[in-house]
Structures are given as C-alpha cells and as structure tokens.
Amino acid sequence: MEFNKNDLQHRKAKGEMLGVKDVLSRISQYWYLFLAGVLVCGALAFLYTQYATPAYSINSEITIDDQSSSPGGKALDGGSGMADFSDLLGMPSNAYNEIDILKSKILMTNVVKEMHLNVSLYRKESLNAVELYNEAPFEVDLIEKRDSIKERKFDIDITKNGLIHISNGKEELDKTVKFGQVIPCKQFDLIINKKPGIPNPNGYKLLVQSVDSKVEALTKKYAVDVTDKKSTTLAISLEYPNPKKGEAILQKIMTVYLQDNLQNKIQIADSTLAFIDNRLKIVSGELSGVESKFTEFKQKNNIANADEQAKSLVSNVSNYYQKLNDLQVQQTVLDDISKTINDPDSKRIIPSSLAVQDPVFAAAIGGYNQLLVQKAQLALSYKDSNPVVQNLDAEIENARQSLVKSFNSYKKSLAVSIEALKSQNTLLSNEVKSVPKKEQVFLDYSRQQNLKEELYLYLLKKREETAISKTSTISTARIIDPAKSDYEPFKPNKIVIMLIGIVLGFAIPWGFLYLKEMLNVKILEKEDILKHTDITVIGEIGNNADQKTLVVEKNSRSILSEQFRALRTNLQFVLNNKSSSVIMITSSMASEGKSFVALNLANVLALGNRRVVMIELDLRKPRLASTIGIEPGLGFTNYVISNSIGVADIIKPSGISDDVYIIPSGQIPPNPSELLLSDRLPELIDELKMHFDHIIIDSAPIGLVSDAQLIDKFTDVTLYVVRQEYTYKSQLDILNELVDTGKLRKTYIVMNDIKTRKPGYYGYSYGYSYGVESEHASV
C-alpha cells in the first residue's frame, strides 16, 4: 500500500481543520509578533479612548398636530356650500413633510448664523483640544469682509499682563493686542471681548470657517425620524463633542423651526386678509351693479313684488272674464226681451228672473209688467172697448215704446261695455303671457343679488375671523422633550475600541505573514507541498548545518541520521520487501540535494545489512562520485559506448561503507539522452539486481531535461527531492503533470534542508531524541 495516502485524503476532506492547525502553528511559531501586535495595538486603542474627541448624543422629541381641513363641500352659514377660508390657517401637517423642513439646509443655516457656530473656540490640552461653550474668559466676534471664507485656525494666548497674543501663518498674523481691539485679517476682522473667568495656561485655539462648511458638518451629525409609522411625533438627534453646546444647538433648531412655522401661518393670514379685502372690493362693485340693474328692471316693468303682482294680474284677468261673461249673459237676455217688447201685439209679461243689471231698465220692465197685470184684471170686468181699458192699453203702449227706447239705449251701452271688457281682457291676457319671462328675468336678478349679498356678508365675516385668528395663531408643532444630552459619550466606545485594538493586534501580524507567504513563491513548509500536489511526502530531511557530506554513520544519533532511518523505514512499506529494488532520485533543478539524499540513503540502507550500489546517471553535471572522492575514470558512459567494458570495470567501492558501491558517470557525453536509450542500461540494471539489494540511481533534474523520464521504466520507486526555501512551488506542477500522464510511476517526495524553526517542524530534536536509542539498538 502507499504510505500515508489515506491520511492525505483525510486532510483534503477536512480543509477547515487543516486551516485551524495552520493558524495555531503560525501563532505558536511567530508568537512574539502576535504578542507585540496585541500590545502595540492595545496601547494605541487605549490612548485613543483617552484622548479621542468624545461624541455625545443629544436627543429631543417634537410632535406635529395633524389638522385636517374641512371638506370642500361642507355647508357653511345655512348651506352656502362655500369652503371655509379659516382652513388656510390650519392646513394639514404631514410628519414626513415636516421632517424635510427640519432637515433643510436653510433651517440649519439660520441656526448657524444666529448662534455664530462658524466661530468655534477650543481649549488646548496635552494631546488634543476641547471645544468650549461659554467656558472661555473671552468671546470672539467675526466681521466678514466677503461672502465665502476659507477655514482658518488661530492660536490664542492670554499674557500675564492681560493682553492677547494671536497668530496664524496663512493670515501672516502674529501680534499682541488688547481686548476689544479690532484684529484685521485678509478675509475678516476679529474682535476679542473679555468675559469673567480664569484663562487656560495652555492657551486656546480659534477655528473660523464658512457658514456653508459648518452647516455641512452639522448636517452629517443631525438626524430626524418618526418615532412610529402611525405617529406624528418626531425624534431629533445630534452628535456633538460638547454636550451643553449640543443641547443649545438642538434647542435652537427646534425654536427656529417653531418660529418659522408660526411666521408661515401669520404670512398665510396676511395673505388671506389681502385676498379677502380685494374680493370685497370686487364683490361690492358687482353687488352695486346687480342692484342697479334690478331696480331699473322693476321700475321699467312696474314690479314691486313679482309674486304678488303676478297673483293680482291673474285675479284681474279672472274678474274681467267674469264681468265679460255677465255682460254677455245680459246681452243674451236682452236679445230675448227685445223679441217681446218689439212686438206691439205681444202682451206677455217679461220674466222678472232675468238678470238685468240696469236698475232703470229693470224698473221700466217692472212698471210694464204691472200695467199688463192691471189690464188682465180689468179684462175680467170690462170689455176692450171700455175707455178704461183703452186708456190702459194706450198707457201700456207708451210704456212699451219707452221700454224699447230704454232697451235700445241699454243694449248699446252693454255692447260698448262688452267690447271694452274684451279689449281689456285681451290686454290682461297678453300681460299674463309675458309674466313667465319677466318672472325669469326677475328671478335671475334676484338670484344674482342674493348671491352677491351672501358672498359679501360671508367675506366680511371671514375677514373678522381671519383677523382674530392672526392675533391668536399658534404653531402646529410642540416640543415634547427638550434637547437633552446623554450622561456618557457614546463615542469612543472603550470596550469596542479595545476589542478592535486586540483584533488588529492579531490581524496585522497575520496579514503580514499571509502577504509574505503570498509573495513567496518557494516551498517553505510541508503544507505548501500538500496544497500543490497529491503526491505523498515519504521523507523529511532536516538542515545540514555542519555541511557534512555523509550524515548517516553506524553509531550516529543525530536528527539527520534518524530522519534518513525514517526514510528507510517508509521505503520498506513502498517496496514491499522486494529482493532487489531500483530507486531513482531526481529533483526539479540543481542544488536541491538529490546527491546528498542518494549518498546518505545508500549508507542507511547498508546499515540495515543490505548491499547497495549507486549509479551516477546525471550525465550532464555529475557530482555524486566527486563528492565522496572518487577519481574520474571509467563509468556508465564508457560502459554504454564500448561493449568490451563490463560491469566489473566500472563499479567501484564508495569508501563510505563496505556494502555501498558506486558506478560513476564517466566522461560527460555530448548526447546523454541517447545513451540512456541504449540497451546496455537495462542489461546493467539486470546484472546489478543479481548482486545488490538496492540500486540507487542519481538522475538529472526532471525540470530541466527528460533523462529521468527515460529511466523511470526501470525503477521501482522515484524519490523527488524538494528543498525548503529553494524549490519553487510552481515546479510541483511539472511533477504533477508527469505523474498524471504516467511519465513517472510510483513517485514520492523527499523534503530536504528543513529548518527546525519553520512551522510544523519545530520540536524535531525532542521528537527524535526519544527514539534514537531504540533505533540505534536495532541497527
């Protein structure tokens, strides 16, 4: 089975655990960096909490009265249907609109100007400056010479003799003046007035900035929001280093807001009064015009009261019709009577039931009827020839003729009366027909007059109401909680700052180490190998501080000798106790220690009662033989080129052990790769297997040439040597490609030149000191 393969897969699956181990390993190795980082950052954090400018939270609450205006169709004054002008003084207040007003720059600008916040005074301390508010023994007045000024800082000291020393490099100002004296500058003039108080011995700093910049600075620390979505109460907050000054600023903001709110309502009232006065003039003129036209219309049509006159006109028409009817009835009766009285022979009595309106004619008819009655009575006693009867007949005839004359006269007068009534009735009828149109005009004028009168009276009423409202107008906003600062500053948060300092104390060293690792392209530790390849690390060789060629000896108890013994043990699992094995040792490039590993591996195998032969197949730059003092002579190249040279001619004792031999490379050939393709190489290996337990081949680096790939088919194990702080991480990609494509089989990595101070290797001396005696006893 392959050595440590399952352990490698387990670590790949548990990447987070590997990361934790890596972190702990880093901390344990570079503990002094982390300790120094925590101490330094912690100290800086502590100093920051002590000397940083504090920030207090100043809070207040203000409520907005949500007044709803009257509906436009609400009836006023008995259902006039007109909107109430007084609603203009109680317009609905939307909380979100008021937030925009409270956060407006014009509001903050007014506050800055009224409180002169663009002029700030600070008391000098040892490491910082503290802003003052009414604590200084003097105050500063600013007289601006231009609209926009640039920020300037002044140093102010009060001398022992009570004078002021003020200086500023940009203003080229450095002078001593008296209190109340004008201090001319390029952009403005300063006047410092004395107040009661004890001067600060460290002096003061004066900051003068533009109103806009101060407004911008305050706006960033100022917030307004509703306390609840269903509420019209607004929470107002301000962050400021001086709690008293912050309270004054926030209170001033609310005061200016309320004043502006009230002033706005007064302006609305003034505007309403002006509107009403203007409308009164117009309506008054319109009312006068309507009344004049209405009066003229009534005079022209003789109308006092249209309804009564219309009723009277209809009644007159009815009366005239009745009179006309009566006269016509009388005319009909007269026609009937005329038939009787115009006949001399007719002696009939005229009916007394006939309605005759003329009393004279009626009396005449009565007298005529009386004569006829007398004749009828005489006729019972006398004959017609009787003179009495004849006299009576003459009297009847005279009465009849008189009645005919009277009848004709009455009939004529009745006909005239009928014609007169007909004419009058026609006039009245025509007049009745014209009544609706006149009544419509009359109603129009009356409606216009009523409307103008109502509007005029309404405007007079509202003018009085508006005048009263103006004098009693109050703001729609009220302060619930005045501005109040927290007892402790919320910045800096000492606990959070200290925690941040401690975290940075760990993060900065870790970032430094991480950046160092990111910038380092070479292999520093075993984890670098595990991250870049799945090939097993079969051996780990420490640093050869003494620069000894041979570190493994029979009685050696050093760490390096024990590491090679561990490599030997691991190879036993890989080789499966083969009777004779071929081990090739290669690397990425020169100077990675493959000859050093080959030499000491050969010796440690020989210490286990094994016969070992080393073949120097790095034909381009052979170093193995010269390292142990073997003189140049016949070697591998001679064996391949000449068939007359046998194995015995090229094999030589190594001089390091009786069981270790070496076959030098021989002369450096011009075509090393072609020599490795010769059939003589497998013949050599087969013959050596018959006499040796292990054949160690020192091959050329695979990162430079392909020699090792040509040899791989004859080997049982390939050991790839990487050197700490020398081999590049990218060179492992070359090895991965060769293994993945099958150009190198059964390959394992040997990490060489490990410094014990590196993470993951600290403590080698302890780990191996325990097993040295037992291992030594068995070898």
As a whole number of Å, the CA-based R_g of the chain is: 67
Residue 420, classified by CB atoms within 10 Å of its CB into exposed (0-12), middle (13-18) or buried (19+), is middle
Amino acid present at 721: V
pLDDT bracket for residue 90 (50, 70, 90): very low
pLDDT, tens digit, for every residue of 519-575?
A: 878 888 888 888 888 899 999 998 888 888 888 888 777 888 899 999 999 998 888
Say if residue 298's pLDDT is above 80: no
pLDDT band at 489 (very low <50, low <70, confident <90, very high): confident
> How does residue 437 score in pLDDT terms, banded at 50, 70 and 90?
low
What pLDDT score was predicted for residue 717? Answer: 93
Closest by CA position to 378, among listed 368, 369, 370, 388: 388
Residue ranges covered by each domain of the chain:
5-52+492-519, 85-265, 306-437, 526-778
Q: What are phi and psi of 558, to 5 degrees?
A: -75, 165
pLDDT at 326 over 60: yes
Summarize pLDDT for 107-140 with one digit per residue, the tens: 999 999 999 999 999 988 877 888 898 888 899 9
Pairing of strands 581-587, 717-723: parallel
pTM score over 0.75 = no
Q: Which residues, 6+ apart, have CB-to-CB distance to 348 below 8 Å?
A: 340, 372
What average pLDDT does the segment 422-451 reach? 65
Q: Report residue 758's pLDDT band, with 50, 70 and 90 as the boundaries.
A: very low
CA dihedral (735, 737, 740, 746) in degrees, to 10, reads: -20
The percentage of the chain sitting over the pLDDT mark of 70, rounded to a whole number, equals 77
Q: Is pLDDT of 412 > 50?
A: yes
Q: Is the pLDDT of residue 320 over 50?
A: yes
For β-strands 747-754 and 717-723, DSSP reports them as parallel
Give the span between the Cα atoms of 458 and 468, in whole angstroms: 15
pLDDT of res. 771:
39
Q: How far apart are the C-alpha atoms of 538 and 734, rounded to whole Å?
A: 19
At residue 672, φ and ψ (nearest 5 deg) are -60, -40
pLDDT band at 772 (very low <50, low <70, confident <90, very high): very low
pLDDT tens-digit map of 348-397: 666 654 545 667 667 777 777 777 777 777 776 677 777 877 777 787 77
Residue of 540, 575, 496 whose CA lies nearest to 52: 496
| CB-based contacts of 455, cutoff 8 Å, min separation 6 | 82, 283
Which tops the pLDDT comparison, 427 or 768?
427
- Predicted confidence band at 73 (pLDDT cuts at 50, 70, 90)? very low
Sign of CA pseudo-dihedral 670, 673, 674, 675: positive
- Torsion region of 397: left, alpha or beta (phi above 0 gives left; psi -120 to 50 gives alpha): alpha
Residue 365 is which amino acid? Answer: I
Q: How far apart are CA 146 and CA 182, in angstroms?
A: 17
- Strands of the sheet containing 204-208, edge to edge, are 129-131, 119-124, 204-208, 152-158, 164-168, 173-177
What secondary structure letter does DSSP report for 575? H
**Amino acid letter, 525:** E
DSSP, collapsed to helix, strand or coil, labels residue 444 as: helix
End-to-end CA distance of the chain: give it in Å, rounded.
Answer: 25
pLDDT-derived band of residue 432, with 50, 70 and 90 as boundaries?
A: low
Average pLDDT over residues 599-626: 90
Q: Say what the pLDDT of residue 315 is.
A: 66
pLDDT value at 294 more than 70: no
Residue percentage of the chain with pLDDT more than 90: 22
Average of per-residue pLDDT across 631-639: 87
pLDDT at 243: 92
- What are the helix (H) ranges across 472-534? 494-519, 526-532
Place of tokens 């000191």: 769
> Average per-residue pLDDT in the chain?
79
> What residue type is 351 in one-letter code?
P
**459-471 mean pLDDT:** 75
How far CA 116 is from CA of 110, 142, 271, in Å, comes to: 10, 8, 33
Q: What is the mean pLDDT of the segment spanning 594-605? A: 91
Phi, psi at 124, each rounded to 5° = -70, 135
Instruction: Identify the DSSP state of 713.
Output: G
* Across 308-330, average pLDDT: 64
Give the DSSP H/E element, type plus range, for residue 237. strand 233-240
Do you find a cis peptide bond into 489, omega within 30 degrees of 0?
A: no
Superfamily classification of domain 526-778: P-loop containing nucleotide triphosphate hydrolases (3.40.50.300)
- Per-residue pLDDT tens for 174-223? 899 999 899 988 888 899 998 888 888 888 999 999 999 999 999 999 99
Q: Give the E-state strand segments of 38-187 in sequence order.
A: 56-64, 119-124, 129-131, 138-144, 152-158, 164-168, 173-177, 182-184
Residue whose tokens read 């990490």: 751
86 contacts 466 by C-beta, under 8 angstroms: yes
Residue 423 corresponds to which tokens in the numbers above? 């004419």
Mean pLDDT of 497-521: 87
Q: Is the pLDDT of residue 97 over 90?
A: no
User: Once rounded to an integer, what is the mean pLDDT over residues 163-179?
Assistant: 88
CA–CA gap between residue 479 and residue 462 (Å, rounded):
31
Largest separation between any pair of C-alpha atoms in the chain? 225
In the chain, count H helices and then E strands: 22, 21
- Sheet with strand 56-64: strands edge to edge: 222-226, 233-240, 56-64, 477-485
Place of tokens 């009414």: 134
Q: Is the pLDDT of residue 46 over 50?
A: yes
Alpha helices in 31-104 (DSSP H): 31-51, 95-102
- Reference 127, options 242, 240, 50, 199; nearest CA is 50
pLDDT score, position 463? 77
- Nearest of 150, 153, 152, 149 to residue 124 by alpha carbon: 153
3-state helix, strand, coil in the chain (%, to 5): 50, 15, 30
- Please give the Cα distance from 20 to 603 (Å, whole number): 39
CB 466 within 8 A of CB 267: no
Residue 517 vs residue 610, higher pLDDT? 610
How far is residue 576's CA from residue 6's CA, in Å, rounded to a whole number?
A: 18
Which structure tokens are listed for 259? 């004043």
Q: How far is CA 106 from CA 215, 234, 240, 250, in A?
A: 9, 19, 20, 15
The residue whose two tokens read 């003046």 is 177
Contact yes or no for 720/586 (Cβ under 8 A): yes
Give the SS3 label for residue 519: helix
Using alpha carbons, select from 764, 772, 763 the residue that is nearest to residue 557. Answer: 772
Query: Residues for the chain: how many in total?
Result: 779
